[in-house]
Amino acid sequence: MYDITVVGAGPIGSHLARKFAEQGHEVLLLEKGKVGKPLKGTGHVSKDIFDHVPEKDKFVEKEIHGAVVHNNGSSFSFGRDRHTSYVLDRVEFDRYMAKRARKVGADFRRERFIDMKTKKGKVTVKTDSEEYETKLLAGCDGPLSDVRVAAELSKPELFLHGIFTNQIEVGPIQQNHVEVFLDTSEGFFGWKVPRKESFEYGLAVELGKDSRTYLEDFAKKEGFNISQVYSGMIPMLPPEKVTKNRVFLCGDAAGQTKPFSGGGLIYGLTAAEIAAETVDPEKPTTLEQYEEGWREELMGEIKTGNRIRKLYGLPSFLRYPFLWLGKHRSKHAHMDRPKSLLGYKK
């Protein structure tokens, strides 16, 4: 019997699997597809990423110095004088994370999780080819989480649809700031992110809206070509509970993302670490400590981030004073901690 079965070898599942395996637990890591494929996101993260994983050139594509936010003809610069963040090669990053988990003994299997049953102090996990017994089951299987469905846990409150394309440039990219376009989407924003040899252009819209048409309008305005398109769901606002019996969710499956940017890597990695610190496979009641711990760490920031997200839906003239204020308060602000804009210290 495994101590813990982790479904999904995305970055959060791999991190969680590694953390438990490092503690000497028997870990099964299930992945239905090819690690890192299809491309799942931009990979724009704060410097804090290296509080969670070792610094490696192989997956860092670009160092970023701040952002420029465009609002109906006006532009606001944030943090351009400092090195604030990185753009990662997400395929390389996801592969690296999965390799690290395997290296410390997580039993990686290319199988699709299908269903589970909790009975007599264990969970029986059914995949497309085997059945396993495990003391705990962790759903790190992304926004549409099959584990969440099987465990009858609620889904996050809101889902956006993100879509992006890469425009290859001749020669290395000099621009080292990201751009945010508040008028390209309703209720969210568009972005232009410099990579090593290309610019990524993308946007997110509420589910049900035609993201492709928004991207085409954006392409006309900014003069880029749409070649290959990548897309994915961005879950936001975690449900009231992400734990039940011997099951818990982590990462996108739990909606642990930043509502004002859609970024999920740092919050998901943080939650995975809290799970590894608090949860004991021999004592499933410790799942309550995980539930309390990650909420204490992240929910305040998620709520503040959601208030910021709501400002994107305002008419541009009403956004203007908030942008002005944000710019003037942003000197010591941290991109993962929107409460820092309000003067809160960690």
Ligand X SMILES: Cc1cc2nc3c(=O)[nH]c(=O)nc-3n(C[C@H](O)[C@H](O)[C@H](O)COP(=O)(O)OP(=O)(O)OC[C@H]3O[C@@H](n4cnc5c(N)ncnc54)[C@H](O)[C@@H]3O)c2cc1C
- Report how far residue 319's alpha carbon sits from residue 201's, in angstroms, rounded to the nearest whole number: 22
CA distance 77 to 60: 23
Q: Which of 156, 190, 238, 251 binds ligand X (CB under 6 A)?
A: 251
Cα–Cα distance, 147 to 129 (Å, whole number): 17
Binding residues for ligand X, total number by CB under 6 A: 36
Q: How far is the CB of 270 from ligand X (least distance, A)?
A: 11
CA–CA distance, 215 with 163 (Å, rounded to integer):
8
Binding of residue 89 to ligand X (CB under 6 A): no
> Least distance from C-beta 330 to ligand X, angstroms?
19
The token pair that represents 299 in the structure block: 């929910």
Task: Please select the residue that binds ligand X; options are 66, 262, 281, 305, rule is CB under 6 A.
Answer: 262
**Cα separation of 135 and 1, whole Å?**
7
Q: Quick check: 273 binds ligand X (CB under 6 A)?
A: no
Among 109, 112, 126, 244, binds ligand X (CB under 6 A): 112
Length of the chain: 346
The yes or no reply on residue 326 touching ligand X (CB under 6 A) is: no
CB of 265 to ligand X, least distance (A): 3
Per-residue x/- marks for ligand X, 121-150, CB under 6 A?
-------------------xxx---x----
Determine which residue in the list 30, 67, 287, 335 makes contact with ligand X, applying CB under 6 A: 30
**Window contacting ligand X (CB under 6 A); options: 17-25, 55-63, 67-75, 264-272:** 264-272
Q: How far is the CB of 168 from ligand X (least distance, A)?
A: 19
Query: Residue 178 or 333: which CB sits closer to ligand X?
Result: 178
Cis-peptide into 38, omega within 30 deg: yes
Options 25-33, 71-79, 170-178, 315-323: segment touching ligand X (CB under 6 A): 25-33
Pick the closest to residue 113 from 136, 94, 132 (CA basis). 132
- Give the nearest distance from C-beta 234 to ligand X in angstroms: 5
In the set 11, 66, 238, 305, which binds ligand X (CB under 6 A)? 11
64 in Cβ contact with 80 (< 8 Å): no
Q: Would strands 198-206 and 158-168 be described as parallel, antiparallel, or unpaired?
A: antiparallel
Contact status: 40 vs ligand X (CB under 6 A): yes
From candidates 4, 234, 274, 323, binder to ligand X by CB under 6 A = 234
Q: Is 38 in the site for ligand X (CB under 6 A)?
A: no
Specify the stretch interacting with ligand X by CB under 6 A; choose among 3-11, 76-84, 175-183, 217-225. Answer: 3-11
DSSP 244-309: ETTEEE-GGGGT-S-TTT---HHHHHHHHHHHHHH-BTTBGGGHHHHHHHHHHHHHHHHHHHHHHH
| Rounded CA separation 160/162 (Å) | 6
Alpha-carbon distance of 137 to 245, in angstroms, equals 10
Binding of ligand X by 268 (CB under 6 A)? yes
What distances in angstroms separate CA 342 from CA 21, 65, 95, one per listed residue?
A: 39, 22, 37
Task: Identify the residue among 257, 270, 304, 330 touching ligand X (CB under 6 A).
Answer: 257
Q: What is the largest CA-CA distance in the chain?
A: 63
Please identify which residue in 9, 21, 53, 150 interacts with ligand X, judged by CB under 6 A. Answer: 9
At its nearest, how many Å lie between ligand X and the CB of residue 53?
Answer: 13
Residue from 22, 32, 173, 295 in contact with ligand X (CB under 6 A): 32
The only residue of 18, 19, 25, 44 in contact with ligand X, by rule CB under 6 A:
44
Which amino acid is residue 261, in one-letter code?
S
| CA–CA dist 37, 176 (Å, integer) | 26
The binding site for ligand X (CB under 6 A) comprises 7-13, 30-33, 40-45, 112-113, 140-142, 146, 162, 164, 202, 232, 234, 251-252, 257, 262-265, 268
